[in-house]
A and B are shown apart, each in its own frame.
Chain A
Amino acid sequence: MPNIRPEVAADGGIADERPDGTSRPEETARNDEADSDVVLRATGVGKAYGSRLPVGRTVEVLNGADIEVRAGEVVGIVGANGSGKSTLMKILVGALEADAGTVESSGRVGWCPQEELLYDRLTIRETFRLFGEAYGMDREAVADARDRLADQLGFEDFLGYRVDHLSGGNRQKVNLAVALMHDPDVLLLDEPYTGFDWDTYLSFWELTEELKKRGTSVAIISHLINERERFDRIFELADGTLEDVTEEGSTQAGDAGVR
C-alpha cells in the first residue's frame, strides 16, 4: 500500500471536504479488519435527473447502486449507453452529488473523466503545475510525477506544447496522467481507451499492472470489456443498480461487448 502523504499546502490548499461532503482520505478512519482493504465503497447510491417542477419527465439513473473496490484490484464496470456509468463515476469521485446513499474512501482517489477536461491553451507543463497545486503537491513532486508519467505514457516530447495543439491520443494521455500524478490509491477511469492507438493501449495495461503491484486499485468504466482476464471483478450497471457478473460467461459485458 503506497504511503499516503498528507501533503497539505501551507495555505490550506486542500479543501477539507469534497464538494459532496464526503471526507478527504486522511480524515476517514479505518473501521475494522474486514473493511481494511476496501479503498472505495458506495452504498445505496441513487440519482435522478429531471424536472424539478411537477411536470416533466424524471429519469432515475441510479437506484440503490452498491460497490466496493479493494486494494490492488482491477474492477470493470460495464453497462449499455445511457445506463448511468458516467453519473456513477462522477458521484464516486465527488464531482456530482448523489440524491441518496453514501460514498466512502480510505485512500486518495484519482479520476480520469471521459471528456478531456483540460485547459486548452495551457502547455502540458503548465497543466501539471496547475493540477499539482490543486492536489497540494510541491514543485519537485510535480516535476517527478510529470516526467515519470510522460515517459511511461509516451508524451515526453510534447511537454512544451499547448493542449489544443496535441493529437487526440496525446490529449487523452495527458488527461490520464493528471489523474495519476498524485499517486492515488484508487484510480477511476471513464472510458479510458478512446483515441488510444494499439501501442498506447498496451502501455495503458502495463501501467495498470504496475499500479496493481503497488497496491493501487483501478476501476474502469466502459461500455465494452475485452480481455476479461485482466479484471479481478466485473460489475454490470443496469436498471440503476450494480451486479457482480465476474463469474458469468456471456453477458452484455462478455464476448460481444456492448455498443
Chain B
Amino acid sequence: MSQTRTTLEMGLREYARTPVLLALLVFLPAYVILFFTRVVPERTVPVDVPGAGMLAVGLKPTVAALMTPMVAALIGGIAGLFLMQSARDVDSRLVVVGAAPRAILFARFGLLGFATLLASAVAVAVMSLTYVPDQLAPFVAATVVSGLTYGALGVLAGLVLNRLAGVYLMMFGPFLDIFLAQSPLSEGAPAVAPYLPGHYTVEMAFDAAFTAGVDLATVAGGLVYLAVVAAVAWAAFSRTLRST
C-alpha cells in the first residue's frame, strides 16, 4: 500500500509541476462550454429523453448536456493516449528495481482519473452557469464516466497505434460518437450507436439533466462498459511495464 501511495503522491507532484497542462484542463472545458452556450440560439427543440419520452427542451441546455460528456471524453482520451506513455521507460525501471507493477498502474490510472475529474468538474460548473441539471450528482457522474471510458480507450490507442493515429482517433471518435451518433436531435440512431462508448453515458447525462429519475439500467450499462474497457487497458498496460 505504501508503494502505491508514494507512487501516486509523486505522480501528483509531477502533475502539480506542469502548470500548462493543469491550466489547459481547466481552460479548455470552460472555453468550449462557454462558447457553445453563448453562440447557440435560444430555441426549443424536441428531445427524446430516455425514460421520459419526447420533451420540449431548450437548445442551449441540450447542446450543453451533450457537450459536457464530449469535452470530458476528449480530455480523457488525449490524457489516456499520452499520459500513460509519458514515463513508461522510467516506470519500467521502477518495476525492474522492485516496485510492484500494480502500484504503478494504480498511480498512472489514478492520475488519468484526476485529469478527467478536474475537466468534468469544470465543464459541469460552467454548464451550470446556463443550466443546472435536474440531478447534478448523477450528471457529474455521467460526465466522469464518459471521460474515463474514453480515457481507457486512449490508453489502448496509445499502446497499439502511433501518436498520429491516436490523435486522429481522438479527434474524430468522441465527435462522431457523442455529437452525431448519440445526438438526441437526430430522428434515428445509426445501427452502431448502442455499441459506441458514448451511448450509455449520453443517455445517463440526458436522463440526469432533464428528468427527476435515474434509469438504473442505463447506469449499469455505462459502468459495465467502463469496467470492461478499463480492465483491458489495465491488462495491456501492465504487460508493457514488464518488458521494455
Q: Which residues of A contact B (CB under 8 A)?
A: 9-15, 18-20, 90, 93-97, 111, 113, 115, 117-122, 126, 129-131, 133-136, 162, 178, 182
- The answer to whether A9 and B94 touch (CB under 8 A), given A121-B13, A121-B14, is no
Residues of B within 8 A of A130 (CB): 6-7, 10, 94
Q: Which of A96, A113, A136 meets B98, CB within 8 Å?
A: A136
Given contacts A13-B100, A96-B244, contact A126 B93 (CB under 8 A): no
* Chain B proximity of A120: nearest CB distance (Å): 8
Q: Give bound CA distance, A178 to B93, whole Å.
A: 10
Among B2, B7, B18, B101, contact of A11 (Cβ-Cβ < 8 Å):
B2
8 Å CB interface, B63-104 against A: 87, 89-90, 92-101, 103
Q: Which residue from chain A places its CB closest to the CB of B100 in the assembled complex?
A: A15
A135 to B103 alpha-carbon distance, docked (Å): 13
Taking A14-B98, A93-B96, A135-B98 as known contacts, 7 extra A-B pairs with beta carbons closer than 8 A to each other, sorted by chain A number, are A15-B98, A96-B244, A117-B90, A119-B10, A133-B7, A134-B98, A135-B97
Q: Cβ of A122 and Cβ of B10 under 8 Å apart?
A: yes
**Residues of chain A within 8 A of B10, CB atoms compared:** 119, 122, 126, 129-130
Given A15-B98, A121-B13: A95 touches B2 (CB 8 Å cut-off): no
Q: How far is the CA of A39 from the CA of B73 in the complex (A)?
A: 51
Name the distance in Å between A62's Cβ and chain B's nearest Cβ: 15
Is B3 positioned at the interface, with any CB of A under 8 Å from its CB? yes
B163 at the interface (CB under 8 A from A): no
B43 at the interface (CB under 8 A from A): no
B1 within 8 A of A: yes
B5 → chain A closest CB, angstroms: 9
Q: Report the minimal beta-carbon distance from B12 to chain A, rounded to whole angstroms.
A: 11
Residues of A within 8 Å of B101, CB to CB, are 15
Q: How many residues on the B side are at the interface (Cβ–Cβ under 8 A)?
A: 28
User: Is B243 among interface residues, defined by CB-CB distance under 8 A?
Assistant: yes
Which residues of chain B have C-beta atoms less than 8 A from A162's C-beta? 17
Contact residues in A for B38 (Cβ distance below 8 Å): none
Contacting residues, chain A, for B6 (C-beta < 8 A): 129-130, 133
Report whether A96 and B94 are in contact in the complex, using a CB–CB cutoff of 8 Å: no
Residues of A within 8 A of B3 (CB): 9, 11, 13, 133-134
- Using a CB–CB cutoff of 8 Å, the interface residues on chain B facing chain A are 1-3, 6-7, 10, 13-14, 17-18, 87, 89-90, 92-101, 103, 241-244
Asked if residues A134 and B99 are in contact (CB atoms below 8 Å), the reply is yes
CB distance from B239 to the nearest CB of A (A): 10
- With both chains docked as a complex, state the minimum distance between the C-beta of B55 and any C-beta of chain A, in angstroms: 48
Cβ–Cβ < 8 Å partners of A178 in chain B: 97
Shortest Cβ distance from A181 into B: residue: B97
Residues B244 and A11 in contact, CB atoms below 8 Å apart: no
Q: Are B14 and A9 closer than 8 Å at their CB atoms? A: no
Pairwise interchain contact A95-B92, C-beta atoms closer than 8 A: yes
Docked complex Cα distance between A182 and B100 (Å): 17
**Would A131 and B96 be within 8 Å (CB), given that A9-B2, A96-B244, A119-B14 are in contact?**
no
Chain B proximity of A131: nearest CB distance (Å): 6
Do the beta carbons of A111 and B96 come within 8 Å of each other? yes
The residue of chain A having its C-beta at the shortest distance from the C-beta of B241 within the complex is A19
Bound form: Cα–Cα A9–B13 in Å: 23
Q: How far is the CB of A236 from chain B (nearest CB, A)?
A: 25
Once the chains are docked, how many angstroms separate the CA of A134 from the CA of B14?
18
Contacts of A95 in B (CB 8 A): 92-93, 96, 243-244
The answer for the CA separation of A117 and B89 in the assembled complex, in Å, is 7
